[in-house]
Every structure is written in structure tokens, then in C-alpha cells.
Amino acid sequence: MVAYRAKTRPYDHQRQALKKLLQNGYGGALLMEPRTGKTKTCIDWAGIVSSIHDLDVVVVFAPAPVLPVWEHELRIHCGVPYDVLLWNAKARAKKLIPTPGDKLLWVLVNYEALSAGGRLTKSGNESVQAGRGWVKNTLKKLCEKHHTAIVLDESHKIKSCSSKAAMALFTIGSKAEYRVIMSGTPITKHNRPDDIYSQWKFLNQRRFLDVPTKMEFMRRYSNPVPGNYGYVQFEGVRNKEELRSRMMEDSYTVTRDECYDLPDRSYESIPVSLSERSREAYDMVEASGIWGDTTATHVLSRLTELTKITGGHTGETWDRIGSEKLDALRGIIEDHCDEGTPIVVAARYRAEIARIQDLCQSLGVPHMTIQGGSDTAAELEHWRSLKGCRVMILQPQSGSLGIDLREADHLVWYSLVYQWTDYSQTCDRIALCERPTTITHLLAQDTVDWDIARILQEDGDVVETIMKGKHD
């Protein structure tokens, strides 16, 4: 037996999380808010288990953009000798089978590996080669032959128990000696506890033996109400304390506010006055109707049109009609240039990102961009290598998960997302900064921007709230 020595000092809340996982024996749930150090905690747990027990391999499932983050965190935190296999599509196509050696083997793979089909044969049938069937069978054999831990990062990704990835993980998890789930948002909608069912079916099926199906689970922990065509729907949460008590048998949970050893965070909203041209365009779209009993598609379409205008664009061709937010952003970036500190700017739309890039170029400020199609790992590495004032432009839909931007203490929302999980995860990209952090919203005066900001800070999803008429 070799005593484990942490490579980096854990915070007090991380020590408590480690204690909980070790007490459970098999692993457990790290329901820790983003940027409270779930990844480091899991790395230290695996190191301890490999030192005092038998653990040969850790298989980490995570969204694709998060896998480079795991490689980075392992280099920083892992206190035992280890090897890493990035088990991406190229590696799987080569039929590369994870094989533990003398060191602890970390296998990093994205969830899509368990839903991707194999190549089609000449007969038109799907080959199992390198597809989900091959991946599942390979991992089953790995668990049967070696002491294996299966880790689900962002475990709410398997909230649908009928998805291919979830069903494969149920099988693989039943063969693994250790299991860990990690999520800051295990319930993606505050009034729908059914997300828990699938995650616990993987983690510890014994915890809910008396409610073995999803329907029974929902009948116990949510309120059944009549739906259309005689179907039953579920709303809200009931038996909340019982559900929480059961979950806590397996879990360690902590919020950022409870981590008193982490720096403070403040929020501010900067009002931006629309130009006459922008106001006319905005009023015209608003007059066409957005609120009321409408479909989600209609609400989303109108929100998109309105927020495009508050960001300085209109129409399908993204015609530029204003620069009000851009001018406000210019002042913020110039302040950071004076201070020599980095800044992160979040923007939803590619047209906005292009204008922010042009702004940085005109100011002579180094900048990098993470958006759909970006080489995230390369962009991050380059950005970190820069000194002084620099800007990271982040498209939340592409870069809200797992990216560590702790070098910056300021995040500016140029345009807001509509889902609270995307909003909170993006805000938490700077949470591990050792300095107090600031979240700034650029909000056009007398526009839907303020409704969106308010709903998000109430932990709500914008489209759903507006459809229910709760925007007033």
C-alpha cells in the first residue's frame, strides 16, 4: 500500500467530497456547482483508490469539448503515475483497445461514442466495428478483466433513460467496480425531478428499488396532471425531502456560495440606449407579437429577432443597424488594457462575434475565439500563453462546458442565452480565478434584454417562462 500525496492542495469542501466518496466505497455523486473543483476531486479520489485499493483504469465520459480540460487537469492535479488514452473516433477506428499497464490508465471518451453507429457494410447493414456496440462490448470486457471506474462528467447528459448512450452505460456501469457521476445541474429543469432517475439507474439502482421504473419514480416524486388525449403529464416536485434524503446517501453537494474559500463574485447590468434606427426596428418586431399563448418555435423566433436588434443587427442577412453595445464593450476593453488584465466576452451570434473580433483588432488587443468548429484546446493554450490584456470571445453554445478561463476575473455578456444551465456554466468559466470576479450584462434599455437577464438570474429557462406569461 502506498500513501497518496495530493499534487495540489485541496480546498476544505473538496476534502469533504473525497471523504464522502471514500465512505461510499463504490464512488458516488459529486453534485457540485461548476467551478467548485469537481474534476480535481475526482482525480484525487481515483489516485487515493489506486494507492490503497485496486484500481487499474478510469474511463471518463464527457462532452467532446471537455476532454482536453481533463487532460489539462490531470497534468496539474494527478498525484500518481498515470497514462492517458484519448479514445476519440480516430483511435476507435483503429480498434485501439484500452489496456492498463503499470500506471493508472485514464481513458477519455465522449458520450457520442455510445450513440454513433458503425460503418455500413455492402449489404447495407450497420457494422459494429468502432460503433456503439463495439465500444460497449469493449468496455464491458475491460470492467470484467480489470478493476475499473466509470466516471460520467456532466452526468445530466444521460437524463433520458431511453437514449442509446444511457442504455449502454447502464450495462457498462453494472460491470464496473466503481462509479462516479458529476454534475452541477443534475436536474436541468427545477420542476422536473425525472432527470435524477436515469443518473441513479447508472450510479446505484439499489437506492430506488421501490420505484424501479421511470413512471413509478415520477408518480412518487412529481405531481401527475391530466394531459392531452388522456395522457398523464407531470409538473413540479413532491416528496422533495424524501428525494433529497435518498440522493444524499450517495452524494456530496456544495454550492459556490458555500465554498467560503473561493473568491467573491459580483453581478452588474449596464444599460445601453438604442439608436433611433435600432429602436424603430425593435418596435416593429415587438409589435408583431411575442408574448401570450404561442408555440415555443414562435417565441424563440421572436426572441431571436429582438435580441439580434439589441446586438446591432437585423434581418436574415444580419444587416448592421447599430453599434450601441459594441461602443459600451469598447470602454470595458479599454479599461482592461489600462489595467493589463484579461477579459472574457460571451456572444451568441456569429455576426456579433465577428464585430467583437474587429473591435479587438482595431484596439490592437490580442484575442482568441471559441465557437462552433474551433480547435478549443489549441485556442485555450494560445490564449493562456499570452500576457497582459487579452480577450477571449466565447460562444456559450460551443464553449460553456468544462473550459477553464481562470486567468480572467471579468466576463461580459454581449448577448444572453435563453437556458439557465448554459448561462450558469458560462459564468463559471472564470470562477476559479483567485481574484474576485465580475459578471457584466450589456442590456439595451426598455427591451427584452432585461426580461431575459431577470429570468436567468431566477434560475429559469427564458422561452418556457415567457410562454407561461411570467414576463411581467
What's the CATH number where 318 sits?
3.40.50.300
Residue 292 has a pLDDT of 52
In a domain, 113, yes or no: yes
In a domain, 320, yes or no: yes
Residue 472 has a pLDDT of 43
**Nearest-angstrom CA–CA distance, 160 and 195:** 7
- Give the global pTM: 0.68
Is the torsion defined by CA of 89, 90, 95, 98 positive or negative?
negative
Q: Are residues 428 and 317 in the same domain?
A: yes
Q: Is-contact 201 161, C-beta < 8 A?
A: yes
Give the pLDDT confidence of 10-61 residue by residue, as tens digits.
Answer: 989 999 999 999 999 999 999 998 778 899 999 999 999 999 888 999 999 9
Q: Are residues 273 and 212 in the same domain?
A: no
In a domain, 4, yes or no: no
In a domain, 6, yes or no: no
Q: Are residues 253 and 288 in the same domain?
A: no
Q: Are residues 308 and 392 in the same domain?
A: yes
Q: Are residues 246 and 279 in the same domain?
A: no
Q: Are residues 114 and 221 in the same domain?
A: yes
Residue 319 has a pLDDT of 87
Residue 429 has a pLDDT of 85
Q: Are residues 124 and 35 in the same domain?
A: yes
Q: What CATH number does the domain containing 33 carry?
A: 3.40.50.10810
- Counting Cβ atoms within 10 Å, is residue 109 exposed (0-12), middle (13-18) or buried (19+)? buried
Q: Are residues 285 and 392 in the same domain?
A: yes
DSSP string across 18-72? HHHHHHHSSEEEEEE-TTS-HHHHHHHHHHHHHHHS---EEEEEE-GGGHHHHHH
Q: Which portions of the chain are predicted below pLDDT 70?
A: 1-2, 117-130, 188-191, 227-232, 260-262, 289-294, 296, 373-375, 399-402, 467-472
Q: Are residues 28 and 59 in the same domain?
A: yes
Q: How many CB atoms lie within 10 A of CB 459?
A: 13
Q: Which of 258, 277, 305 is the last residue of a domain?
A: 258
Q: Are residues 42 and 176 in the same domain?
A: yes
Residue 146 has a pLDDT of 96
Rg (CA), the chain: 24
Q: Which of 200, 223, 258 is the last residue of a domain?
A: 258
Query: Which residue segment(s) compose the domain that 425 sits in?
Result: 265-467
Q: Are residues 236 and 272 in the same domain?
A: no
Q: Are residues 224 and 303 in the same domain?
A: no
Residue 468 has a pLDDT of 67
In a domain, 5, yes or no: no
At 151 the three-state DSSP class reads strand
Q: CB within 8 A of 432, min separation 6: which ones? A: 35, 37, 262, 404, 406
Helix (H) or strand (E) holding 410: strand 410-413
In a domain, 163, yes or no: yes
In a domain, 423, yes or no: yes
Residue 384 has a pLDDT of 85
Q: CB within 8 A of 178, min separation 6: which ones? A: 26, 27, 49, 55, 147, 148, 149, 150
Residue 124 has a pLDDT of 47
Residue 111 has a pLDDT of 94
Q: Which of 237, 258, 279 is the last residue of a domain?
A: 258
Q: Considering only CA atoms, which of 323, 344, 320 is closest in space to residue 332?
A: 344
Total number of domains constituting the chain: 2
In a domain, 382, yes or no: yes
